[in-house]
């Protein structure tokens, strides 16, 4: 957005229309965007659209900062209470006047929370006063999380106009005077050509990976890829893909309101399920791991804003996949335990083979394609059938079978 406003100024644009549809975001990013609007030499119109869009939380501050605030029918704004990442929210304190039927307004409980809320109120009130909009409701949106529809926002003086399209917006703002910097500028928009400023590939890529659902998938693909690589080292495809996905997920998490407790539970759940596969505990570790994985996934996004929630079907799908992988691994382990030993020296014990030859008093037998020296307490002759009793280095201790030669 900042780059787009700068490019509009360089191109000599008459007006910038900033389309807003957001559930909110980080305070630092929001303040950078507000600063870009306030310092812009080109008038910026904030336009909440299309119908069904919202300017929630940080989006409300941004809309208040624009020179002209416009909303499409069927949109809303508000719910601008700041929430600290890593905290469950702003708890309320008992209050209100005695005998009042109105519920007490939510009040931050700790001094730090009060400081954050008061700072946010002062910030949005300053924007409202700068643009001549309803400062009282702005403070209510921060302190009480109030929201408004487009029609109500226009009636209360929170926004300036309503428009169903960009063309209608341009017609309505034509001839309007706005304060830009130290001067007043009259907008002439009746015959302007509209240029759609595209997202560059970097912005589109970052928008994709910072989607909470995509970041969640990248994290799990990264973790499972590294687990597969560590337990089955080889070509390295799983390890490379896993490392790249995990780094992308970590980048996304640094700009998302994640709960580190939730992330820890996810990692613990995967560790327990992996431990169950390699050290079976009759399902105790596996079931505990699945429970920790599901609870951690639900807790991962530390906000109630809908735009940041991970889809429950995706959480359940990965939980079922992990459980299925666990059951498959346990089945393979149990099958391997019940199977006949085919490696090492243990599988030689009990095998019956004929004596192939006698050389200088030493008997030789061929077992698994290899020639072994055979030692027995009874004399052996070629073609005698013997049973392997033990392995002593490179010598087989054998006993002669009753029944003689093959």
Does 379 reside within a domain? yes
Predicted pLDDT at 345? 67
Does 99 reside within a domain? no
Q: Which of 176, 197, 218 is the last residue of a domain?
A: 197
Most confident region among 22-26, 50-54, 88-92, 178-182 by mean pLDDT: 50-54
Predicted pLDDT at 344? 60
For residues 235 and 365, membership in a common domain is answered with no
The fraction of the chain above a pLDDT of 90, given in percent, is: 37
Question: How far are the Cα atoms of 22, 25, 93 from residue 72, in angstroms, in the given order?
Answer: 14, 22, 37
H helical segments located in 254-389 = 260-278, 284-299, 312-338
For residues 159 and 121, membership in a common domain is answered with yes
- Is the alpha carbon torsion for 323, 329, 333, 339 positive or negative? positive
For residues 211 and 278, membership in a common domain is answered with no
Predicted pLDDT at 101? 47
For residues 268 and 246, membership in a common domain is answered with no
Q: Which of 164, 182, 197 is the last residue of a domain?
A: 197
Predicted pLDDT at 333? 64
Position 342 pLDDT exceeds 70: no
The fraction of the chain above a pLDDT of 70, given in percent, is: 84
Please state, as a whole number, how many other Cβ atoms lie within 10 Å of the Cβ of residue 283. Answer: 13
For residues 252 and 271, membership in a common domain is answered with no
Range 284-290 contact pairs with CB under 8 angstroms and sequence separation of 24 or more: 286/323, 286/326, 286/330, 289/322, 289/326, 290/319, 290/322, 290/323, 290/326
Q: Which of 295, 318, 339 is the last residue of a domain?
A: 339
Q: What pLDDT band is residue 90 in, cutting at 50, 70 and 90?
A: very low
Does 392 reside within a domain? yes
- The answer to whether the beta carbons of residues 49 and 71 sit under 8 Å apart is yes
Q: Give the mean pLDDT of the chain.
A: 84
When pLDDT is averaged across residues 324-347 and rounded to a whole number, the result is 65
For residues 87 and 38, membership in a common domain is answered with yes
Which of residues 261 and 326 earns the better pLDDT score? 261
What is the per-residue pLDDT across 161-195, written as a single tens digit (0 to 9) for each?
999 999 999 999 999 999 998 889 999 988 888 99
How far is it, in rounded angstroms, from Cα 265 to Cα 108?
A: 28
341 φ/ψ angles, rounded to the nearest 5 degrees: -70, 125
Please state, as a whole number, how many other Cβ atoms lie within 10 Å of the Cβ of residue 196. Answer: 7
Position 94 pLDDT exceeds 60: no
CATH number for the domain harbouring residue 66: 3.90.226.10
H helical segments located in 51-104 = 58-65
For residues 205 and 183, membership in a common domain is answered with no
How far is it, in rounded angstroms, from Cα 257 to Cα 64?
A: 24
Does 100 reside within a domain? no
For residues 185 and 206, membership in a common domain is answered with no
Does 98 reside within a domain? no
For residues 142 and 89, membership in a common domain is answered with yes
How far is it, in rounded angstroms, from Cα 335 to Cα 111?
A: 61
Does 151 reside within a domain? yes
SS3 264: helix
Domain interval for residue 326? 260-339
For residues 213 and 360, membership in a common domain is answered with no
Does 236 reside within a domain? yes
Position 30 pLDDT exceeds 60: yes
What is the per-residue pLDDT across 210-240, written as a single tens digit (0 to 9) for each?
888 999 999 989 988 888 887 776 667 888 9
- Indicate the DSSP class of residue 237: H
Domain count, the chain: 4
Within 8 A by CB and 6+ apart from 146, the residues are: 78, 79, 137, 140
Position 17 pLDDT exceeds 90: yes
Predicted pLDDT at 92? 44
Least confident of 44-53, 161-170, 329-338: 329-338
- DSSP string over 24-35: ---HHHHHHHHH
Predicted pLDDT at 395? 85
For residues 34 and 175, membership in a common domain is answered with yes
For residues 372 and 361, membership in a common domain is answered with yes
Question: How far are the Cα atoms of 157, 169, 188 from residue 163, in angstroms, in the given order?
Answer: 15, 5, 17
CATH number for the domain harbouring residue 374: 2.40.50.140
């Amino acid at each position: 957005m900042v780059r787009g406003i700068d490019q509009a100024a360089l191109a000599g644009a008459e007006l910038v229309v900033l389309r807003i549809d957001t559930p909110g975001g980080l305070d630092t990013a929001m303040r950078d965007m507000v600063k870009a609007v306030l310092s812009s030499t080109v008038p910026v119109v904030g336009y909440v659209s299309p119908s069904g869009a919202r300017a929630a939380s940080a989006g409300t501050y941004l809309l208040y900062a624009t020179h002209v605030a416009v909303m499409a029918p069927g949109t809303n704004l508000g719910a601008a209470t700041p929430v600290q990442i890593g905290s469950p929210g702003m708890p309320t304190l008992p209050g209100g006047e005695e005998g009042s039927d109105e519920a007490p307004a939510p009040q931050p409980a700790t001094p730090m929370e009060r400081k954050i809320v008061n700072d946010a109120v002062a910030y949005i009130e300053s924007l409202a006063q700068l643009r001549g909009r309803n400062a009282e409701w702005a403070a209510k949106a921060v302190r009480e999380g109030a929201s408004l529809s487009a029609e109500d926002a226009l009636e209360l003086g929170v926004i300036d106009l309503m428009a169903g399209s960009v063309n209608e917006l341009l017609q309505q703002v034509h001839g309007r005077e706005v304060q830009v910097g130290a001067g007043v500028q009259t907008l002439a928009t009746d015959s302007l050509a509209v240029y759609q400023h595209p997202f560059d590939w970097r912005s589109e890529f970052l928008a994709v990976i910072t989607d909470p659902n995509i970041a969640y998938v990248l994290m799990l693909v990264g973790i499972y890829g590294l687990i597969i690589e560590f337990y089955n080292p080889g070509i390295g495809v799983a390890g490379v893909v896993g490392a790249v996905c995990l780094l992308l997920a970590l980048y996304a998490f640094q700009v998302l309101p994640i709960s580190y407790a939730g992330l820890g539970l996810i990692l613990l759940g995967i560790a327990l399920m992996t431990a169950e596969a390699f050290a079976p505990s009759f399902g105790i570790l596996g079931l505990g791991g699945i429970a920790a994985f599901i609870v951690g996934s639900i807790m991962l996004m530390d906000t109630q804003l809908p735009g940041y929630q991970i889809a429950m079907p995706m959480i359940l799908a990965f939980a079922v996949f992990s459980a299925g992988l666990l059951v498959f691994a346990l089945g393979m382990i149990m099958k391997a335990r019940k199977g006949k030993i085919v490696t090492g020296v243990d599988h030689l014990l009990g095998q019956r083979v004929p004596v192939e030859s006698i050389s200088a008093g030493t008997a030789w037998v061929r077992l698994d394609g290899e020639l072994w020296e055979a030692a027995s307490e009874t004399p052996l002759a070629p073609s005698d059938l013997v049973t392997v009793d033990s392995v002593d280095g490179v010598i087989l201790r054998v006993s002669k079978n009753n029944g003689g030669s093959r």
